[in-house]
Amino acid sequence: MAPQQRITRRRFLGATVASAGVVLIPPAIGLGADPTVAPPDCPSTDHFWYRPQSAGRYIDSQRGDRAFAYADGTLFLSEDNGHTWPHSIAFPETQRITFSHILNNGNILFATGPKLYLSTDRLKTYRQITVKAEDGSDYAPHEPQNADNPGWYFHTLPGVISWDVHGAEMMVWGNYCNVLGGATPVNIYYSTDGGRTVKIAYSFGQNPRFRDNGSPGGGATGALLGNPANPVLCRHVHTVAYNPDEDAFYACTGDIDRGFGHECHWLRGTYDAKGDKWSWRVLVSDNSNSRYKCGGITFVDGMVYWISDANGPPPHDRGIFRCHPADITHTEKHTLLFNPQVESGNMIIQDGVILASHCAPASPLGTGFIVSTDLGRTWAQYDLKEFGKRSPTRFHEKNGEGWFRVDLRSGWIERAEVLFIKPKMPASKGPAA
């Protein structure tokens, strides 16, 4: 059965239906006393309300009712979904923050380039964390050629980077780097103790095209960075995800073959908690026009979903795909749920709602969103063009009031604004057709 999608032209652009007709998605349920109802002054589409963050603070991450934000020289913590900010502390380098994450226990891990910090007491204090290498030694960041470009060691594209693993929260994430901020070694990091100890789970090899030459993205000259013993090269990590059914982690990287082999890989890793050891293997390596150049990997009801960022020469192998994890390397067993006809590498799935986005430089839309409220049975696309040319990324799970949090990036990676989105329609958790 072909995926169904709504066609409409108002402030947004609907997609072309893949089947013969048009399936109109039912109107939103009555608002009444539904706790997910948004304030009436919020703009909306047929599928969601949306609102920009309030002025004055950049809300960098959220978890449940908590939100972490910053303004010039100060960090803030809210415990009521951003309505009030009772906790704060001075931090001179707020404008250099490239990463943050709120753990279930309330700890906050955040980073400025190569420096990682942890607060365990609601921002009364914070301390710098020294990352541990795979052999247990201290992992020292490289000495940058340009102090203004020290490297994005911890920056991520997804907003979901921790999971319940055997009854305890475990953080696992990879750095999206070598675009801005300076050349950077590419690593997958993990923490099993609430961010108090952060270690390297996997270190990629030294890519000759991303040496430290002092420029924002690195180049073909300068110091080599990464693990010299690992032949697996990439530019950066797109996402890491956990599949509880297999007790395994999956990672995908980008981007293209620059003369030293493919940079686009899917890896599968398992963690031995007793021995504190990782085992990784590369499942597939492919070119930039492949569905394996992707993001948004998510596991739902035993199936894996992802969205392709393919950008090679046409025909493009793009779309939102689903398969059984055992069939990841078998393209003939993949189900194409929807093709937005544009590069799209960011996606989240929660409570049957799939929310994804367009990469702005490649999209005809200003700020393009892709949405399904029934786990892939029907689809719509919207252009929130009032925000300008923006790439939505870093999708955080819904807060205590039902709002997803999304970065809006200028170009595809420069920090710009924050947007909150609340789905309108009831979500079905059953399998898509």
Reported as a single tens digit per residue, the pLDDT across 72-124 is 999 999 999 999 999 999 999 999 999 999 999 999 999 999 999 999 999 99
The pLDDT score that the predictor gives to residue 2 is 40
The pLDDT score that the predictor gives to residue 305 is 98
**pLDDT > 70 in the chain, percent:** 89
The pLDDT score that the predictor gives to residue 197 is 98
Average pLDDT, stretch 223-251?
98
Pairing of strands 108-112, 264-272: unpaired
- Where do we find the tokens 């089947």? 19
Distance CA 248, CA 268 (A): 7
Q: Pick the residue with more confidence: 22 or 151? A: 151
Give the chain's mean pLDDT.
90
Distance CA 344, CA 392 (A): 10
The tens digit of pLDDT for each residue in 304-357 reads 999 999 998 888 999 999 999 999 999 999 999 999 999 999 999 999 999 999
Distance CA 153, CA 155 (A): 6
Of 215, 203, 299, 303, the C-alpha closest to 253 is: 203
Distance CA 305, CA 241 (A): 11
Average pLDDT, stretch 26-32?
32
Contacts of 393 (CB under 8 A, 6+ apart): 157, 346, 357, 406, 407, 409, 412, 413
Res. 220 pLDDT band, cuts 50 70 90: very high
Contact between residue 38 and residue 49 where contact means Cβ atoms under 8 Å apart: yes
Q: What angle do CA 146, 236, 392 make, to 5 degrees?
A: 100
12 pLDDT higher than 80: no
Class of the CATH domain delimited by 4-423: mainly beta
Residues found in the chain: 433
Of 392, 382, 291, the C-alpha closest to 347 is: 392
Pairing of strands 335-338, 347-350: unpaired
The pLDDT score that the predictor gives to residue 332 is 97
- Where do we find the tokens 């942890």? 118
7 pLDDT higher than 60: no
Contact between residue 307 and residue 349 where contact means Cβ atoms under 8 Å apart: no
Query: What DSSP line would sit under 231-242, residue for residue?
Result: ----SEEEEEEE
Q: What angle do CA 66, 71, 76 make, to 5 degrees?
A: 30
Distance CA 422, CA 402 (A): 6
Average pLDDT, stretch 374-379?
96
Pairing of strands 48-52, 108-112: unpaired
**What are the residue boundaries of the structural domains of the chain, listed by start?**
4-423
Res. 279 pLDDT band, cuts 50 70 90: very high
Say how many Å lie between the first and final Cα of the chain, rounded: 7
Contacts of 152 (CB under 8 A, 6+ apart): 98, 113, 175, 176, 177, 178, 179, 180, 181, 182, 184
Distance CA 109, CA 125 (A): 12
19 pLDDT higher than 50: no
